[in-house]
Amino acid sequence: MKFNKLLAAASLVTFCFAAGAAQAETLQMWVRSGIGASFTKLVEAYNASHEDKIQMTEVPFSELVQKYATAIAGGQAPDALSLDLIYNPAFAAADQLEDLTDWAKALPYFSSLSPSHVKLGTYEDKIYGMPLSVETSVFAWNKDLYKKAGLDPDKAPTTWEEISENAKKIRALGDDTYGFYFSGGGCGGCMIFTFMPLTWGAGADILSEDGKTATLDTPEMRKAVDYYREMVKADVVPPGAASDTGTNFLSITNGKIGQQNLGAFAIGTLVTEHPDIHFGVSLIPSVDGKTSSFAGGDNFVITKGSPRADIAKNFLEYAYSLEGQKVMAKYGSLPTRSDIAAEVLKDLDPRMQVGVDAIAVAKTPYTLQFNDLINSANGPWASFTNAAIFGDDVDAAFATAQEEMQSIIDNAQ
Amino acid sequence: MTLADSLSRPTRRRRPKRRSQWKGLLYIAPAMVLVIMFFILPVLFTFWMSLHKWPLLGVPRFIGLNNYIRMFSDTRFYSALGFTAYYTVIITIAIFALAFPLAIFVERQRKMVGVYRTAIFMPVVVGLASASLLWVWFANVDSGFLNPLLAWLGIVDLKTNFFASFDSAFFIVCLMVVWKVAGFTMIILLTGLQAIPTELGEAARIDGANRWKRFFYVTLPLMRKTMALSLILSVTGSILAFDQFYIMTAGGPQNKMISVVYYIFNQSFVSFNLGYGAAMSLALLVILVLISIFQLWLLRVGEERA
């Protein structure tokens, strides 16, 4: 499938060059993996209806930042990029992005664009990044497995005791059926997205307000770790989870996982590509029974000095049109424009609405060291989640990670 | 450079004539140009970088020897060095323990020896990255075949995730590397074995030396040069190991499998401290040169003793 698309894109480009098409230009654009099909579909729709073409390259999400930075340093950067919004400040601060302020403010719907995205895209009063995709983390359960295990398929669990109990009942169904899944093999990005809301909802965080102190070791985090540890011990989590670095993040799509925290993108993927899996969606309960979510997504940025900035802007305006928003929403990206959100979601799967509701309780961490602290596969957060949940010494895991996080923050000052 | 010098010096005779010296220089000029362009200059530039705080994006700032000072107090660098040393020792012993018997096995003319040689050498032509991915799949707990196989043999539980604990993950990585590299070491050792004149062995046999004595007192001493070559290649390769850990374990459970090169990569391209990465690269270069000199010295001392 993917290869065919790639081939098609490649031959299209070759064709354009061969034909010497003077007017139609090709915009090189990168996008990270793991955000579902919404962006691919948007590009396809754009290419089908416009003369200028977008050539999209998918880059593994854990390597996008370093690949983009090295490409900039080597003068090989793509024209535009769908950049995980938490990295937006770092690249804007490094003065590598095109200033979009005037163009953005002239958009009639500028004020209704996702404010948290615009905030992260703004650096020193100039706008460098514009909202492209919005996603929140949610809790999902497989209704068929619930039914088989004698649980009410339409009732979402609201506490982790309940989730854990349900997981055990689902596990009892048989060999390959498991109650719960998470990518626990040192996938910092997955865990901040799916696991962190457990403590956020209860009011705890891993960084202080000003971002200068690591506050990992809280009673809330201990409690969250205990819930996961207990499930691992009870054998309701597949053994592969311990070494999954994010590759199998969408394990629920195999139909043998009872419950999982995932994102709105995954809802889109499940609805469009796995219609045979019947699942329910609700907000992620925190350790004290409240709810929370991680509001993430991507900003659209243009590499400074790109000669094709106009096409990029044209493409983005298409993405903001009702048609573009509908294409993206169908594949799991929540609407970025609040003024037409209701219209966009009107005919779509009602479960998408849960993703929209999550925005109200969601948080987005803001730190320039996000990659070093959280997302890097060898960063303290990634190894902490693995050591604390699967390791033998929980106290040591807390102590090591706390110390390492603080030293990274201190070194960067 | 040092290596090449010390290897080639004793065999070459010096000619006094001036003209032929120029001629000689002319002959080595292309090689020299390549070495200067692709080794000397980059090393000098790396050194220059190591004196700076050099972010991937933005302006480098001169900080003198601060990167080197930081290196001496960087515990993560030390643990990376420690792990690399551990890996190098284990993997070198493992490779030799397998490659030597294999070399002896395929040296003799026997039926289908060509088939054996080819089969054993085959993994060498597979790329290290592809081999790593292949073994990740072999050893995958859900879809691999290693689990069912070992469970059938009663060695491990069917649901054991090999990549979840250090020892088993390390074992799988070593298994992959031995599978991949042993054939290469075998070929080098094989050429050494074949270079030994058969008369020597026959003479020893007539003198009443048994098989083990012939191996230890005739074969091994004559293999010294070959051993030095394969040992240096193996040790150097192991110290520079990166791909297998990056691909197979992403640094291993809880970062226990970060080799030096992996750490340099992380510092340079994940944390964007190119200057610090450069400083560590130079430190690694020095360590490698020292180890290689030591190995050559070790094997030469043996020569004098014999």
Task: Read off the pLDDT band of A21 (50, 70, 90).
Answer: very low
Give B15-19 contacts, CB < 8 A, sequence gap 24+.
none
Contacts of B255 in chain A (CB under 8 A): 186, 378, 383
Contact A243 B164 (CB under 8 A): yes
Contact B159 A185 (CB under 8 A): no
Judged by CB atoms within 8 Å, which residues 333-352 of A form the interface with B?
none
Contact A391 B254 (CB under 8 A): yes
Specify the amino acid at residue A155.
K
A304 and A277 in a single domain? The answer is: no
The per-residue pLDDT for range A338-389, each reduced to its tens digit, is: 888 888 888 888 888 888 888 878 888 777 788 888 888 888 898 899 999 9
Task: Read off the pLDDT band of A5 (50, 70, 90).
Answer: low
Contact A378 B271 (CB under 8 A): no
Neighbouring CB atoms inside 10 A of A293's CB total 32
- How far does A375 lie from chain B, in Å, by closest CA? 10
A379 and A246 in a single domain? The answer is: yes
Whether the Cβ atoms of residue B258 and residue B245 lie closer than 8 Å to each other: yes
CA nearest to A235 within chain B: B159
Q: Supply the pLDDT for residue A2.
A: 45
Contact with chain B for residue A378, Cβ under 8 A = yes
- How far does B258 lie from chain A, in Å, by closest CA? 9
Indicate whether A68 pLDDT > 90: no
A352 and A278 in a single domain? The answer is: no
Indicate whether A19 pLDDT > 50: no
Calculate the alpha carbon distances from A360 to A107, A283, B226 in Å.
25, 11, 70
Q: How far apart are CA A118 and CA A111, in angstroms?
A: 10
CA nearest to B59 within chain A: A94
- How far does A384 lie from chain B, in Å, by closest CA? 7
A288 and A404 in a single domain? The answer is: yes
Report which DSSP code applies to B61: E
Task: Read off the pLDDT band of A33 (50, 70, 90).
Answer: confident
Residue B41 CA to chain centroid, in angstroms? 24
Q: Supply the pLDDT for residue A236.
A: 93
Indicate whether A17 pLDDT > 60: no
Contacts of A242 in chain B (CB under 8 A): 161, 163-164, 253
Contact with chain B for residue A94, Cβ under 8 A = yes
Contact with chain B for residue A243, Cβ under 8 A = yes
Contact with chain B for residue A396, Cβ under 8 A = no
Q: Which site among B254, B258, B265, B272 would you substitute to test the A interface, given the most A Cβ atoms closer than 10 Å to its Cβ?
A: B254
Residue A219 CA to chain centroid, in angstroms? 27
Strands A130-142 and A257-263: antiparallel
Reported ipTM: the value is 0.71
Pick the CATH number of B74-305 from 1.10.3720.10, 1.10.10.10, 1.25.40.10, 3.30.200.20: 1.10.3720.10
Q: What does the block give as tokens for B269?
A: 């391209």
Report which DSSP code applies to A402: H
Question: In which domain, by residue range, is A126 found?
Answer: 2-135+295-363
Q: How far apart are CA B178 and CA B176, in angstroms?
A: 6
Indicate whether B14 pLDDT > 60: no
- Indicate the helix (H) or strand (E) that contains A293: strand A291-302
Whether the Cβ atoms of residue A308 and residue A25 lie closer than 8 Å to each other: yes
What pairs with residue A298 in β-bridges? A84, A133
Q: Supply the pLDDT for residue B1.
A: 42
Chains A and B form CB pairs within 8 A to the count of 79
Q: Supply the pLDDT for residue B18.
A: 65
Contact with chain B for residue A413, Cβ under 8 A = no
This prediction's pTM: 0.78
- Of A366-370, A379-383, B85-89, B121-125, least confident by mean pLDDT is A366-370
Whether the Cβ atoms of residue A244 and residue B161 lie closer than 8 Å to each other: no
CA nearest to B272 within chain A: A66
- How far does B106 lie from chain A, in Å, by closest CA? 39
At A317, which CATH number? 3.40.190.10
How much is the average pLDDT of A124-141?
Answer: 89
Q: What does the block give as tokens for A328?
A: 């993206």
The domain total for chain A is 2
A12 vs A224, which has greater pLDDT? Answer: A224
Whether the Cβ atoms of residue A251 and residue A181 lie closer than 8 Å to each other: yes
The per-residue pLDDT for range B153-178, each reduced to its tens digit, is: 878 777 778 888 888 889 989 999 99
Q: How far apart are CA B159 and CA B141, in angstroms?
A: 6
